[in-house]
Structure 1
C-alpha cells in the first residue's frame, strides 16, 4: 500500500506538467477494450463495470490518459510494461482531465493496461483517449485472449474493501480494487478475458436498493437501474461464475426486509430462475454456482443447500451436466474478504475450472 500511495502522489505531481504530445483518439482501432463498454459515443466511450479495461502497445517516452468522470468517485489502475505489482493509481476527478501516468520510458515499444478498480455505483467514466510523447505512436494491440469467463456477483466479486486493513472499515473507494478480486485473479490465472457483472449490495430476491440482479444483469451500463441493453450475442463466455445471495441472506434472515419472508422452497426457486436465465443465454457455457466467502457459508447456514438444491434440480430436469457448485472456504472472517482471501478463493476456483474444462 505504501508503494501505491507513492505512485498516486507521483501521478498528482505530474498532472501539472505540460508535455508535447501525440494524441490518440478513443476510437483508434489499435486500442483493445475488454468488458461491457458503451460505445454510443465513439469519441467518448463510457466505462462503468468493475474490471473494464483498455490495453495497447505504444512507442514514446511518456503516456497520459484522458478521462471525463461523472461523479469524481472512480479509481483506475494503470500498468506499464506488464508490471502488475506496481500500478499507477488514478483518482478520477469530476469532469475532463488528463492524467500523466508514465515518463522517462526507455526507447522502444511499451505496453499499457488500464483497469477500472471501482464499479457502477461510483458512476461512469468517459475515456477520451491517450497522449503519447511527441513522435510516439500506437502499435498493434496484444492478441485477444481465446478463453472467456463472465462473473455475476455482488460486493465480493466487485472487490469491495479488499485492500483495507483487517478490522478497519472496508467501504472506502480507494481500497476497492477489482483487479485483486477473486474474479480478476482467476481470469489472469487462466489467461482468460473476463466480463464482471457485479454490484455491491445486490441480491437475487432483494437488494439494499430497489433492483435485483435479475433486473440488472442485462444492462450495458452499470450505473443503477437503467434502460440500456447489452447485446449478449456480441460476446459469449466459455465459463459463467455466479456468486450471489449474500445480500439476500442479510436482508431476509438478519434484517427481515422481505415480507412475507420466503420459505426454503421459494428461495431455491428464485435462485434457480436466475440461473436458468443465464443458461438460456449461454447454452454451451460451463456454469459454476459459487458461494462465499462471507458468513453465508458459515457452518449451519442453509444458503449453500439452497444453491445445491437449485443446481441439482436443473441437472435433473434439464439433463444439464455443464453446471456445478463450488463453496469457498469460510475462514471466520466476516467482513468483506481482503486480498489474501480473494487469492485463496481464486486458487480454488482456478483449480476447479481447470479440472472441469481441462484448461
Structure 2
C-alpha cells in the first residue's frame, strides 16, 4: 500500500464523499450480489474487536479496521451503528490518498462504497475515524457484485504497536480548519493521527487505546485511563474485559497527562490538589501496570504536542521523574521519554502537526528498535 506520510485528507473532499455515501445508500446495488458473512475468516480485523458473537463483531475503538481482497465490480457493507455518530474511511486498491468517507446512520443500513470497478482483483480497508464516545458499530456483513469472490486476506504486519492516549492520540479535530472548531465528529480522523501515521511509517499493526478527555488522575468525565485501559469496549466506563494475551505489542506508546494538566493546574478540579510526588506516582503506577502486561515491550513515555509541553510546564518533568524511578527502583531498561514540542497552536493538533510528530516518533522507535 502507498503511505500517506505526507498526504493530508482534504476536509472539503471528505465532506463531498460523505454526501456521495449518503446518496449511494439510498440508491443501493442494482443487482443481487454475493453475500459475505462478517465471520468469514478471509476478512482481516484489526484492533480490540468484540467477537463475543462471531456473526456480529463490534467495533468501538478509534483506528479499528477491516481489510479484505475480493473480485467483482462493487462492494457494499452493512453496519448497525449505535448512535449514528460514527465515521469510517473506506480505501480501495491500496490508494490511501483520499478515502471514501462513510457517515454511519443510526441503526442497520447498507452502504454501497465501491462500484464500476474494473474486472480482476481488488482490495479494501475500512478504518474507524471516530472513537468510543461516538458509540459502537456492529458489522452485519458485506456484499460483492454477482459472481464476486472474497479472496485470501492480506498479510499482517510483523510489528505491533499499542498507543494509550487521549484526544491527541484519537485524532480529535485533526481535519478541522486551522481557525475553526475542532470538536465535530466529521473532522475526527484517527487514520491521520500521529499514532496511526507512525504505525504505517514503521510497517506496524496498531491498537489505539484512547479516549478524548481522559487523564491518569482525573478526566473531563467520571473515569480515568486506569479504569478504562483494560476494556474490550471503548463505549464509556464498562465491565467488558480485553484479553491482553490475545495480542502483544513490541512497542507501547503512552501519551497522557494533557487533561490532567488542564484539570489540575488550570481548572483546580482535583481536591485536595495532588503534590508533585503524587503526580509522579500516578504516572509510575500506570506504566508499571503496562509493564506487567507486556514484559518484553519497549515503552515510550510521550507527551504533547499541546500546552502540557510548553516551555514552563512542569508536566514533562513529572513524566521524566516517573521514568527515572522505574529505572532505579523497578530495574526498567526498555523505557524512554519523548516530548512533542508545543508549537503555540492552541487547539487540537491538525494533520500537519500530527505528521511532524509521527515523523519524530517513528525515527525515535527506529533508532531504539532497529526497525
Same fold (TM over 0.5): yes
Match of 1:286 in 2: 298
The worse-fitting range, judged by mean Cα deviation, of 6-15 and 162-171 is: 6-15
**2:143 maps to 1:131:** yes
Aligned counterpart in structure 2 of residue 234 of structure 1, from 214, 233, 246:
246
Distance (whole Å) between structure 2 residues aligned to residue 18 and residue 113 of structure 1: 20
Aligned counterpart in structure 2 of residue 13 of structure 1, from 20, 23, 41:
23
**2:177 maps to 1:165:** yes
Match of 2:204 in 1: 192
Aligned counterpart in structure 2 of residue 313 of structure 1, from 287, 311, 325:
325
Q: 2:35–2:144: 8 Å Cα contact kept in structure 1?
A: yes
TM-superposed CA distance for 1:319, in Å, is 2.0
Distance (whole Å) between structure 1 residues aligned to residue 179 and residue 121 of structure 2: 43
Match of 1:211 in 2: 223
Match of 1:30 in 2: 42
**2:134 maps to 1:122:** yes
Distance (whole Å) between structure 1 residues aligned to residue 12 and residue 317 of structure 2: 42
Render the CA deviation track for 1:285-307: whole Å, top value 9, x for unaligned.
00000000000000010000000
**2:72 maps to 1:60:** yes
**2:19 maps to 1:41:** no
Q: 2:22–2:103: 8 Å Cα contact kept in structure 1?
A: no
**2:249 maps to 1:250:** no
Match of 2:158 in 1: 146
Match of 2:62 in 1: 50
Q: What SS does structure 2 have at the residue aligned with 1:89?
A: strand
TM-superposed CA distance for 1:44, in Å, is 1.0
TM-superposed CA distance for 1:240, in Å, is 0.0
Render the CA deviation track for 1:123-145: whole Å, top value 9, x for unaligned.
10001111110110100000111
Match of 2:3 in 1: none
TM-superposed CA distance for 1:281, in Å, is 0.4
**2:314 maps to 1:302:** yes
Render the CA deviation track for 1:74-117: whole Å, top value 9, x for unaligned.
00000000111110111100000000011000000000000000
Distance (whole Å) between structure 1 residues aligned to residue 173 and residue 125 of structure 2: 22
Q: What SS does structure 2 have at the residue aligned with 1:16?
A: helix
Distance (whole Å) between structure 2 residues aligned to residue 357 and residue 286 of structure 1: 8
Q: What SS does structure 2 have at the residue aligned with 1:237?
A: coil
Distance (whole Å) between structure 1 residues aligned to residue 227 and residue 13 of structure 2: 40
TM-superposed CA distance for 1:10, in Å, is 1.9
> Normalising by structure 1, what TM-score?
0.99
TM-superposed CA distance for 1:318, in Å, is 2.0
Number of residue equivalences: 359
Match of 2:88 in 1: 76
> Normalising by structure 2, what TM-score?
0.96
Match of 1:350 in 2: 362
Distance (whole Å) between structure 1 residues aligned to residue 316 and residue 277 of structure 2: 13
Q: 2:28–2:111: 8 Å Cα contact kept in structure 1?
A: no
Distance (whole Å) between structure 2 residues aligned to residue 162 and residue 270 of structure 1: 29
Distance (whole Å) between structure 2 residues aligned to residue 36 and residue 228 of structure 1: 11
TM-superposed CA distance for 1:6, in Å, is 2.4
Match of 1:105 in 2: 117
Distance (whole Å) between structure 1 residues aligned to residue 111 and residue 28 of structure 2: 11
TM-superposed CA distance for 1:168, in Å, is 1.0
